[in-house]
Amino acid sequence: MKKELLWLDRITMYRENVRLLDSLSMHLFVGEILGLIPINAQGLEELLDLIKYNGPIHYGYVWFFERVVNDYRWKRSTANPVAVIEKRSRLIGSMSVTDNIFVVRGGMKKYLINDGVLSDQLERLCEGLNISIPPHEPVERLPFFTRWLVELLKAVVAGARLIIIRDISNVASPVDLSRIHRVIRYYASLGLSFLYVCNHHEEVFTLCNRTVLMEDGKILKTLRADQMNNDLMRRFPQGFVHFIDNDSPQKATEKRRAEKPVLEVRNLCRETIKDLSLSLFAGECLILLDLDNSLLPPVLALWRDRKAPEKGSIRVAGRPFQKARRLFAFIDEKPTRSNLFADMSYLDNLCFLADDRLPFFWTKRRYLRSIRREYLPLIGPVIDAPSLAGLSLHDLYELVYHRILLQKPRLVFCVQPFAGIDMYQRLRIIQLLDLLRQRGIAVLILAVSLSDSLQVADRLLVVKNGRAVREIVRQTFSSLDSVHISKE
């Protein structure tokens, strides 16, 4: 018989007269991997905070191990045996592995630390995993998977009974993600419970025992193992499961290939990039699938300093990369934070790069009025906002992509455009990326997972150890096996 670990019973929570959690009920059992798919972001942060810490609620009960630990009648202000592992690490980078796991934790009462004893304890922890971790290595020098494992071991040693894994595929390569899933299954077999929060149902279904769908602060449906398939997801009105049209995006492929490429990368070498070559044509979308996170750091560094690479060449529309600044645009992983100016008006943000195409743009107010008239039907009344304060995430993403459309660059470079957004926003990003392609703009996407990106891509270039190892065309996307790709 299953033993219940966590029971959220009719949880209701308000903040500033907004109902964030609406009679939410959810069970989680000992040794279970429960998937949580937030269709939108409403109430998600409050739900995870409530699971970790028994704060005030307006109605409902929270049970841990069949004992009430929180209810609406009084505030208990106690922590639950829960740990969260997400993109932002809670480890101290300058300290060793053993110090992070055994010393920097609650309940550590020793004054004299025996490094040999701690190393032996770490070795015993890793025996069942068949993984070796250097005990005295500073955490900041570890590769991603090892650092993630250290954080998990720290939670286990601290006595956590429930581990919340949040959006890990946004930062883990396919190789690392498959290893993380194996570790999760191993610890679940030992009785540790997991809440796996992820926006991609395909990823959740391959790992979890059950899945709950959350929208507007309430649980829409709980799926058993036999119900976790694409057929059920197709019933949602927003259409979260898409069919890949093998013909539509590539109707003009042959015509584009007869023209000169917008982007040419030849034998590029920089840091972990080793002899990378590719071409990208107008109106085409290419995904660089980074299997081992070897591309992102050097690519971002190349973008920031805009210097010539150590070896090889990059040309945009026939010009050297360093002299083509106005011909391409860059969309960061978190563009609403890094690509916008919060104190400027919505319209000024929208037109920020307009002087690249129209000299003396800011001295002629009629240009602003003309752009406002053109974009008002597309954007809505929010275009008149005096600043970006208080605008929704949807409005900010619309601003980022419409500014690119107004700028009309030859090339757009996107870093993980679907990271950290809910399912509704993912659908809108797919539409906006497709709109860029329809306008003849070449789109280059750097991704560490395949989720959603294939909906707009013409080609997929698999990169491992800084080198391209395989190119896949759209006609074969429907038969792709992400597990097989991760073993390239």
Kindly report, residue by residue over 326-358, the tens digit of the pLDDT: 788 889 888 888 889 989 999 999 988 787 777
Q: Evaluate whether 4-233 and 248-340+388-486 have a shared fold.
A: yes
- How far apart are the C-alpha atoms of 347 and 375, rounded to whole Å? 10
Read out DSSP for 98-154? HIIIIISSTT---SS--HHHHHHHHHHHHGGGT----TTSBGGGS-HHHHHHHHHHH
**Which residues lie closer than 8 Å to 244 by C-beta, 6 or more apart?**
454, 455, 474, 477, 478
Strand order in the sheet with 273-280: 273-280, 263-270, 311-316, 319-320
Cβ count within 10 A of residue 412: 23
Integer-rounded Cα Rg, in Å, for the chain is: 25
3-state secondary structure of 33: strand
User: What's the pLDDT tens digit per position in 382-398?
Assistant: 999 999 998 988 899 99
Residue range 279-313, pLDDT digits in tens: 999 999 999 888 877 787 788 787 766 666 778 88
Q: In 3D, which of 11, 98, 6, 2 has the Cα closest to residue 55? A: 11
Coil/strand/helix, residue 371: helix
State pLDDT tens for residues 213-262.
998 899 988 999 888 887 777 666 455 555 444 444 444 455 555 578 99
* Residue boundaries of the structural domains of the chain: 4-233, 248-340+388-486
User: What is the pLDDT at residue 307?
Assistant: 63
Alpha-carbon distance 125 to 280, whole Å?
A: 48
In the predicted model, is pLDDT for residue 72 greater than 90? Answer: no
- Compute the distance between CA of residue 197 and CA of residue 217 in angstroms, rounded to an integer: 15
Beginning with the edge strand found earlier in the chain, give each strand of the sheet holding 162-166 in spatial order. Answer: 82-85, 162-166, 193-197, 33-38, 210-215, 218-223
d(CA 138, CA 140): 6
Helices (H) and strands (E) in the chain, counts: 15, 20
Confidence of residue 448 (pLDDT cuts 50, 70, 90): confident
Tokens representing residue 483 in the block: 């597990």
Six-digit token pair at 452?
């959603």
In this predicted structure, the answer to whether residue 462 has a pLDDT above a threshold of 50 is: yes
Min mean pLDDT across 120-124, 162-166, 246-250, 323-327 is at 246-250
Q: Which fold is adopted by the domain 4-233?
A: Rossmann fold (3.40.50)
Give the whole-number percent of the chain exceeding pLDDT 90.
Answer: 32
Taking only the tens place, the pLDDT of each residue in 260-269 is 899 998 988 8
5-23 exposure pattern, b = at least 16 Cβ within 10 A, e = fewer = bbbbbebbbeeeeebbbbe
Give the homologous superfamily in CATH for domain 248-340+388-486: P-loop containing nucleotide triphosphate hydrolases (3.40.50.300)
Q: How far apart are CA 290 and CA 172, in angstroms?
A: 10
